[in-house]
Each structure stands twice: as C-alpha cells, then as structure tokens.
Structure 1
Amino acid sequence: MPKRAEDEPLARLTLGVSADSQWRAHADVGHRFGEKGEWGIRVNGSYQNGDTPMDNQSQTSHVGALALDYRGERLRASVDLVDQEEQMDVLV
C-alpha cells in the first residue's frame, strides 16, 4: 500500500535484530510543501540481511518506495516508484 505525506512532517528510523542474527533497518520520511501543503513527498525504505531460522540459510532483501503527490482544490495527482529485491541463499 503506497503511503502519502501527511500534514505533519515525519522522520522515523527503526532498527532491529532477531535471535538468528538477522538485522533490519527501516526509514520513513514524509513532508508537505507549498502555501497550502499541496505538494507532498514520502520516502520509505527497508533493508534486511542475515541468517534465517532454517539451518544453513540466509536472506537479504530491500524495498524502496518514493511517493510524490499534489493535492489541489480541483485536482489530485500522485506518482509512486517502488524497487524491491529478495535473495535467499542455502548452503549445502
């Protein structure tokens, strides 16, 4: 689900690690611009890397999203760009 910039600015960073030594990071930043806040930008990104609960298996994944929008009195428009990749490695 694409996210849009809200009326209040947002800047959030979340970091974590699991017991299986898989770490992750997620950033979420959004802001509105213009006299009436008609232009919005929101950037979302996450990265995860490390061992999984399965023996001899590791996972790397990333997701990046950019949402641009315009909220005028008579027009609303938006553009969403998303990049996602996931890789699973199994050692035998």
Structure 2
Amino acid sequence: MFKRMKSNVGGNDRSPIQLTEVNGKPALVFDEMPALVFVSNNGHGSFDKLYIDGVESVTHRNVTITSEVGEITTYSLDKYAIRTEEVAEDIG
C-alpha cells in the first residue's frame, strides 16, 4: 500500500521514521519520541493534531513550521489566552 520514494541526496538510507500498517491502518513508527509532529487529516484544519515532545497541544490556534534541507526545523505558535484544566488545578 505504501511506496517509499528514493532520494538522490546522500546520507543514511535508514530513516528513524517508518510508514507502515497496524491492523490494516496506516501508522508512523518512530525510533524515539519526536520533538514535533503535525498531522492534517483532511487539509481543512478541523481535524489537525499537533504534538510537542509527545504531548498533544490543545491551546494553539496557529502553528507555523519552517523546515529546510540542511537546516534546523523551527516552529512558532499562536495560542489562545486561556487556562487549561491542568493549570487551573495547579492554581487551586
């Protein structure tokens, strides 16, 4: 079902991320927890998911990701000015 495209860019052919199937569903498998994962289900923004260091971000309104070959990936977030339940519990 999945095809891997070959790159002519030099480097290790082994990727720390594998696209595979689990129980007949597409799955990404990582060798270790990624720093940033953004998934767009339908391209309309209504089912997008953002994970930072393995934790789902639920208070962001906008994410801008800049990724270039040979450069460190950066991102910036616009967040809603709200308290999450976790923060509200800590405040008491």
Q: Same fold (TM over 0.5)?
A: no
Q: TM-score range by the shorter chain?
A: under 0.3
Structure whose residues are more often helix by fraction: 2
TM-score (norm 1): 0.27
Higher relative contact order (CA 8 A, sep 6+): 1
